[in-house]
Chains A and B, each alone.
Chain A
Amino acid sequence: MKKTILLSLLAVPAMLVAQTGGLDPADINKPLADQWTSYSGDMSGKRYSSLKQINTSTVKNLSLKWLQTGITSGCGPTGTGPANAAPAAGGGFGGGGGRGGGGGGAAAPIIVSGFGTGDANNCGPARIGGGILFVDNTIYASAPDNVWAIDARDGTVLWHYYWKSRGGTSLQTRGIGMWHNYIFFELHDDWAVCIDAKTGKEVWKKEISNFDQQYFSSNAPMVVGNHIIIGTGNDTDQPAYIKSLDPETGSEQWRLYSTAQNAGEPGVDTWASLDAARHGGGTSWIPGSYDPDTHLYLFGTGNPTPAYTGGRGDGDNLYTGCLLAVNVDTGKMVWYFGTSLHDTHDWDSTQTPILADAMFGGRMRKLVMMATRNGYFYVLDRVTGEHLITSKLGLVNNYASAIAPDSPLHLNKRGEVQRNPNKDALIAGSLVNNDVLNYPPATFSPDSGLFYVHEQNNLRLYYLMDPDPRGSMGLGGTGGGASFSWPTYIDAIDYTTGKIKWKHEVSGSVGLLSTAGGVMFLSDAGGLVAWEAKTGTPLWHTQIGALSAPPETFMLDGKQVVLAATGTGMFLFQLN
């Protein structure tokens, strides 16, 4: 009898064994503090840490705890180099293993998967991007087609998961998700994988979209209870969707398309035809945020397709360029708000929304805030979608209203921005602003009441090169001309008014972090920089090279630390 039971247990696939330990999904919804458990640190999207050890007084005492320069992306059949490559001295390309820059110890195991040959992968210093997780003293980091577990105590690589890609669009990743002892990751050639957090071994993998139809998948899986929410991008104009997977099996729980796929579905009347809607784009390639009280997952959708040309009709092209609130249990949309309706400039509205309970209009409200690529800042009631504020960002943002920053806004009754069609790409050229911001995540500090986001300023001539009334495909049919750039800033926006309280010039942005210590961390001046969050006054910096992922903070052995990744390595800073 005992033998029978044992055999039965052995016969049960590992993935069906109920998961315990590791990261409790309930902890993912807790405010950001000791651990970093999802893309934004917590599910509110604030990127605001309640840690205070590092504050405006102590930040100057930060120093390097360790530097790991041995994290390398894999290539070839085994991840250690191209096929037939001569072994390089000192271990060659292989998946790290060094520690503290000093080497020693056995190389980390490389777990190889994927359906390519490895020829499409590129060896070299890892381009770590997106959300880096920190759970149980282990750092989980990713670059396209690669995931690493790293000991947070000394930077030692513990394991390296390497995916042999079939190719496709593959330059960046938004990171990984975690549920108990499982790590989830999207591969650019359109598979989702579940990896054992302890060993790096693959638990399951599921195809999430069709590589042959030029989908690419770089989003960070978001764990909401027993849902793994993933998104996928597309280079042409195939239907766009997010879907929810079962964490233990990868089976699909629900799927939500960004546009109508069948006659009679909501939004179809905002397109030239059902076919235009089906191929209307609106991909989701940046994670959203989650409100556990309402069970709403809030996320943004990308630009419509064709991006620049005709063929979509004159309507709003719903639900592209929108903020969507989705019931995570049903996968049904509860409300939407158009952040870039009928977009004609490839301005994805996929930026991560920020959820906060804060005073507005004299009472506490459940808010959602978002700054989108078209250069507008929005505040809504996240329960109902009620519009509260729309304001304009940028020095030369003229696509919807006059170029002056304080010019009257052009909004519909819902508070949604209405573009000026004369600022679309025109055959004769139009003088119009470029992206005001993009995917680098914003942060919100409840202490300062400020929403921080980068602001780019560029004017250029846009030309329509494909006037065919059928419209082009994807991003086709346009051409650029003369352009002018003004400085890039970090804007500090008063969420109660939408007005910019101050702005501070920077070289660019990969994303921001604010803390209860009154500090904001960012990439600038060739490295990691700390500002006073309230004023933008520089407090500390270290020239480690421009960051490749937003900075993060968490607690390690009772000390608050700051994690930064660049193109050359991973750095962990602690207070002296």
Chain B
Amino acid sequence: MISKKSLITGCMAGLVLTCLAIAQGPPAGGRGGSGAARAAGGRGGGGGGRAGGFTQYTRPLASADVIARGKALYDSNCSSCHATDLRGVPGKGINILRQTLADKQGELVTAQIKKHNPTINFSDPDSLATAEYIHSVLARMGGQGSPPRSDETPELNILVGNAKDGEAYFAKNCTSCHSLTGDMKGIASKYADARALQNGWVGGTLPIAGGGGRGPGGGGRGGGAGGQATVTMPNGTKFEGRLVRKDDFLVILTLADGTRKVFPMDVAGAPKVDVVDPQAAHKKMVLALDDPDNKNLHDVTAYLWTLK
């Protein structure tokens, strides 16, 4: 028979792994792959998903009841200084997320609690449960160090522009292509929020419920594979089709009848190639829209948001 005192002594003697197994019960199920995908590219290669990721995302978590107990302990004893999101309260407590990254089995958290000033009267199982709660938060960190999303997402108001100035800007710069009684009628009602509206009108995309929508991207060499192009041969013969490839050596079109047409470009008498950039109008628009204060951008959005 193992007494309670022996168990605690064993924990303090460094048998943390054994104690955790007792405190945790069975693991709470799978991990990894639950987080957001990492942002692509960049430093050191960047990218990569959760699978095969860092320790915080791959280790087993404690059972839900242990994590819940740890959260209750944290909320009542720690959060006033270290914040409910564990990122610390300036002038009162450090960022727990940062300081506990290397904690494996509660050893760092337990040590910190033991020497904490003012004293925190946690038993070792209490400290371990708190550590398991912290582990569960670390496991929800986003790509490349992003902290876990808070449950208390603040309302972010993007409507900071002057709608009247936006109306004037729109009338002067946009009405040659767009109509308030036609394609732009009730435009604001087609978007879930003002940010989605702004992304939509700047990018020239269709409304996307729930918002965010990116522009169509495009671009690329020669104004964008996938767009239309006209190839004019030296004798005046023209070929029109969808641009598949364009570089210094080859231009490839898919003609209207589905035929693939290849034009060598590194030969004498190479044809002339004109690419239609489907984004050309909006690219011209955003170049003119830009100003050092983003005033035009914000004004037009404020105006368009009035067009319910």
Contacts and interface: CB of A to CB of B under 8 A. Distances in A.
A259 to B, nearest CB: 15
Instruction: With a 10 A CB-CB cut-off, give which of B47, B54, B203 has the most chain A CB atoms.
Output: B54
Given A173-B45, A475-B39, A475-B146, A538 B160 contact: no
A238 B102 CA distance: 11
B232 interface: no
Contacts of B160: 427-428
B48 A169 contact: yes
Given A169-B44, A475-B39, A475-B144, A487 B221 contact: yes
B158 A482 contact: no
A213 B102 contact: yes
Interface string B144-175: 11110000001011111100000000000000
A396 to B, nearest CB: 7
A148 B101 CA distance: 34
Interface in B247-304: 247-250, 266, 279, 282-283, 286-287, 289-290, 292-294, 297-298, 301
A211 interface: yes
B199 A461 contact: yes
B222 interface: yes
A231 B287 CA distance: 39
Interface residues of A, number: 90
20 contacts: A167-B54, A167-B58, A169-B47, A218-B45, A235-B145, A305-B145, A427-B158, A427-B160, A428-B301, A459-B286, A473-B98, A474-B146, A482-B199, A482-B214, A484-B283, A485-B218, A506-B221, A507-B221, A525-B248, A529-B248
A527 B1 CA distance: 72
Contact of B143 (A279, A305, A403, A475): A475
B293 A422 contact: yes
Nearest to B104: A212
Interface stretch (A12-20, A333-341, A447-455, A463-471): A463-471
B210 to A, nearest CB: 13
A482 B156 contact: no
Contact of A483 (B215, B266, B294): B215
Interface string B203-232: 101000000111101111111000000000
B142 A463 contact: no
A419 B145 CA distance: 24
Contacts of B114: none
A266 to B, nearest CB: 24
A285 interface: yes
Contacts of B182: none
Closest 4 CB pairs of A and B: A474-B145, A485-B219, A476-B146, A171-B45
A274 interface: no
B46 interface: yes
Centre residue among A214, A283, A423, A477 by max chain B CB count within 10 A:
A214
B198 interface: yes
A484 B289 contact: no
Contacts of A165: 52
Given A167-B54, A211-B54, 20 more contacts: A169-B48, A169-B53, A170-B48, A171-B47, A188-B44, A218-B44, A233-B43, A235-B54, A236-B141, A237-B145, A238-B101, A285-B43, A428-B298, A458-B219, A481-B214, A481-B215, A482-B205, A483-B214, A484-B218, A525-B249
Interface in A472-526: 472-477, 479-488, 505-507, 524-526
Nearest to A457: B219
B58 A472 contact: no
B38 to A, nearest CB: 7
Nearest to B146: A476
A300 B212 CA distance: 34
Contact of A525 (B87, B213, B250, B301): B250
Given A218-B44, A346-B42, A431-B286, A212 B101 contact: yes
Contacts of A423: 292, 294
A213 B104 CA distance: 11
Interface residues of B, number: 79
B104 A470 contact: no
Nearest to A539: B266
B45 A144 contact: yes
Contacts of B48: 169-171
Nearest to A396: B287
B203 A482 contact: yes
Nearest to B295: A422
A170 B52 contact: yes
Nearest to B144: A475
Given A214-B101, A279-B98, A467-B156, A488 B42 contact: no
Given A431-B297, A481-B198, A285 B146 contact: no
Contacts of A234: 145
A538 B264 CA distance: 13
B142 A476 contact: yes
A429 interface: yes
Contacts of A179: none
A170 B221 contact: no
Contacts of B56: 212, 214
B55 interface: yes
A216 B158 CA distance: 36
A538 B45 CA distance: 30
Contact of A429 (B142, B158, B200, B223): B158
Interface in A342-397: 346, 348, 350, 396
Contact of A538 (B98, B147, B266): B266
Contact of B97 (A170, A173, A473, A482): A473
B195 interface: yes
B42 A438 contact: yes
A470 B90 CA distance: 7
